[in-house]
């Protein structure tokens, strides 16, 4: 994993590559997806897309559930969340890639 991390940093920059919980994440701008995925396939042998998911960070870090249960339990109704004016990058797409030949995984965000 250390070698892969060094190669990714060399090609995509130090700020783009992070490692947490023994997993590598490469963060890119949305307009670079095709170019970066092609490079990851052709030069890094990431040949399988394991998972693709979309994330909405509208209420990231906020709890939907109350911290305390009432005598009748938690309510199941969902309340409409207020949006913040300082959204930044509200949405993200995350690709989980696998290199079968090298037995390596990469998260592309």
Given phi > 0 = left and psi -120 to 50 = alpha, else beta, which region is 40?
alpha
What are the mean pLDDT values of the chain's consecutive 10-residue runs (109 residues total)? 92 92 94 96 97 90 64 60 64 96 96
Q: What CATH class is the domain 15-62+76-108?
A: alpha beta
Residue position matching structure tokens 């670079």: 32
- What's the pTM? 0.74
For residue range 34-51, what is the model confidence (pLDDT) as tens digits?
999 999 999 999 999 999
How is the chain split into domains, by residue range? 15-62+76-108
- Reduced 3-state DSSP string for 54-102: EEECCCCCCCCCCCCCECCECCCCCCCCCCCCCCCCCEEEEEEEEECCC
């Amino acid at each position: 994993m250390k070698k892969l991390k060094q190669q990714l940093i060399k090609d995509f920059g130090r700020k783009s590559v992070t490692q947490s919980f023994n997993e590598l994440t490469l963060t890119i701008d949305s307009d670079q997806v095709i170019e970066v995925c092609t490079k990851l396939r052709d030069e890094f042998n990431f040949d399988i897309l394991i998972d693709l998911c979309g994330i909405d960070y509208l209420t990231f870090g906020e709890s939907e559930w109350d911290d305390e249960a009432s005598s009748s339990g938690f309510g199941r109704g969902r309340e409409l969340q207020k949006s913040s004016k300082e959204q930044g990058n509200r949405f993200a797409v995350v690709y989980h890639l696998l290199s079968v030949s090298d037995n390596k995984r990469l998260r592309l965000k």
